[in-house]
Structure 1
Amino acid sequence: MKFAATSTLFAALLSSTAFAQNPSLASIATKLAADDVIPDVLPAGFVPEVVLNLSYVGRPMEYGTEYFPYINETDSLPVVNYAFNSEDYYTLALVDPDAPSRANPIRAQVRHYLSVNIKGGDITTGNSTSTSYLAPRPFPGCGRKRFVWVLAKQSGYDASLTVPVARPGFNIANYASTNGMTIIAANYFEVEASPAAECIIPGGAASSSAASSAAPTASSAAPTATWSSAPYASASSTAAPSAHPTSTSTRKPKCKPATILV
């Protein structure tokens, strides 16, 4: 009996430690609002119902963690975990609210991933709705960018869920609301583009200098030029450019020469 009591106490201590290490749902909302993920992506007043845990290359995503696309850290889907009901269906999305730059997000949101009808916690059961994973590739001169993962709970299985072929101009909050979903969790990470005088989309036009990561202002008016959606619309663009070096390192300086992102 003494051993049993000791074991129970030890288990309780472990549980208490795990809870202390797990951020509260209110504190997550505070973190999301601090970097304007609320309300740029999520509705004002949003408070998650569960914690969305993700990690790239073994490094946990902790609400603003920086990853490095130019050493291939975000080439593949991250490891995803969340509390779930095995009989429920979920939608998981990755959106870029800072396309092409946070200073001038005229193409936001770009839909980098969308999987619907996920049974329970097994994301391999979901339907990508023709939105295969598009690895983040910040264009030179476009500054520091946020990428936001969003988890929504569906009202049930829905075989009719579709999205436009074009990835830009998406809105995950509207999509969830229109399709009877409830957003229950979110997490986000940041990447930084290599330096350049202007933020330029290949095949498109240059925007005003967007090296600053400041939030959009009234002076960030959209240029009159037509921007090409080619870098976003094709599934083939998910392949890592051959110019990206392969590395096993997990940390690098924030900026690299622009040539590696061309």
Structure 2
Amino acid sequence: MQLLSLLALVTSAAASAIPAAAIERRQTCPNANANALASAKAAFTAAKIVPDVIPQFNPTLEVSVNYNGKAVNFGNTFNTVETLLEPDFSITAEKGYDPKTTKYTLIMVDPDAPGPALPILADFLHWIVSDVQPKCITNQIRKQVASYMAPTPLSVSPHRYTFLIYRQPPNYVPPPSLQYLPANRALFDLAGYVEEAKLQGPVGGNYYREGQAQNVCLLLPGCTQDGTGYQPPQE
């Protein structure tokens, strides 16, 4: 009996030794790192995603995207084989919003179709997913609004394939559109869609680059995936 009492006392003391802040962290979703948010904003500005795609960008959450384990990292390069299948993605929680009840929409667009020199088909819609929640919500049920369409860049110069996260209003229903069909994705009106859907943001984003130079480099020895060692013709 004395041994059991001693064990109970030790267990109680150990529990009380855990700081309240640590217990709270275990029970809440992680928020974005301030430095990471500043870097994301700077990357979008440097790549001219602002203002080519969106008029401004003040991220409040982080967006992680990966293709079969290879992470999208603000302008790194991929080839067509690597992006053939739908990527995995997650977001952090947003300060001031309950991760259990706040939901988001991911929109993936190409602002450089068919090529950066003359993007007459921009924005080209590649993907829309609604009812996204922070990664700590393990029972979230996402909805495919527009199925994933793998990039097939026609230009040698790489395109800026851009992922944007928007906050949804309560009781959100995505607006209907014929552009959800795979054969009708060109000239997507991103700003018009966001306005019609009453989405807020973007509150987060990420992007990568992909062009024919990356595909050619699959076959050329000494040519790296960012195009080094390959001299493309003038477009």
**TM-score of the superposed pair, with normalisation by structure 1:** 0.62
Distance across 2 between alignment mates of 1:47 and 1:40: 15
* Alignment map for 1:181-200 (pairs within 5 Å): 181-183=199-201, 184-194=203-213
Aligned counterpart, 1:222:
none
Distance across 2 between alignment mates of 1:20 and 1:120: 14
How far apart are 1:28 and its partner, in Å? 1.2
* Alignment map for 1:151-162 (pairs within 5 Å): 151-159=165-173, 161-162=175-176
Aligned counterpart, 1:99:
113
1:162-210 deviations in Å (ceiling 9; x for gaps)? 2233211113233212321112111000012149xxxxxxxxxxxxxxx
Aligned counterpart, 2:87:
78
Match of 1:47 among 39, 55, 58: 58
- 2:75–2:207 contact (8 Å) kept in structure 1: yes
How far apart are 1:19 and its partner, in Å? 9.5
How far apart are 1:110 and its partner, in Å? 0.6
2:126 is paired with a residue whose SS is strand
1:132-171 deviations in Å (ceiling 9; x for gaps)? 10011112x4421110001111112333522233211113
* Rg (Cα) greater in structure: 2
Unaligned 5+ runs, structure 1: 12-17, 196-243, 246-250, 258-262
How far apart are 1:22 and its partner, in Å? 7.4
Distance across 2 between alignment mates of 1:26 and 1:39: 17
- 1:94–1:111 contact (8 Å) kept in structure 2: yes
* Alignment map for 1:170-189 (pairs within 5 Å): 170-183=188-201, 184-189=203-208
- Amino acid aligned to 2:124: V
- Amino acid aligned to 1:133: Y
- Amino acid aligned to 1:188: Y
1:171 to 1:101, Cα distance in 2 relative to 1, 3 A: same
Match of 1:109 among 118, 123, 126: 123
2:151 is paired with a residue whose SS is coil
How far apart are 1:23 and its partner, in Å? 3.9
1:88 to 1:142, Cα distance in 2 relative to 1, 3 A: same
- Amino acid aligned to 1:143: S
Unaligned 5+ runs, structure 2: 1-13, 23-29, 94-98, 231-235
Distance across 1 between alignment mates of 2:140 and 2:32: 31
* Alignment map for 1:19-58 (pairs within 5 Å): 23-44=35-56, 46-58=57-69
**TM-score of the superposed pair, with normalisation by structure 2:** 0.68
1:173 is paired with a residue whose SS is helix
- 2:128–2:147 contact (8 Å) kept in structure 1: yes
1:190 is paired with a residue whose SS is strand
Aligned residues with identical type, % of pairs: 25
- Amino acid aligned to 1:91: T
Match of 1:167 among 185, 191, 206: 185
1:74 to 1:254, Cα distance in 2 relative to 1, 3 A: same
Match of 1:125 among 135, 141, 156: 141
- 1:100–1:142 contact (8 Å) kept in structure 2: no
How far apart are 1:77 and its partner, in Å? 1.9
Q: CA RMSD in A?
A: 3.7
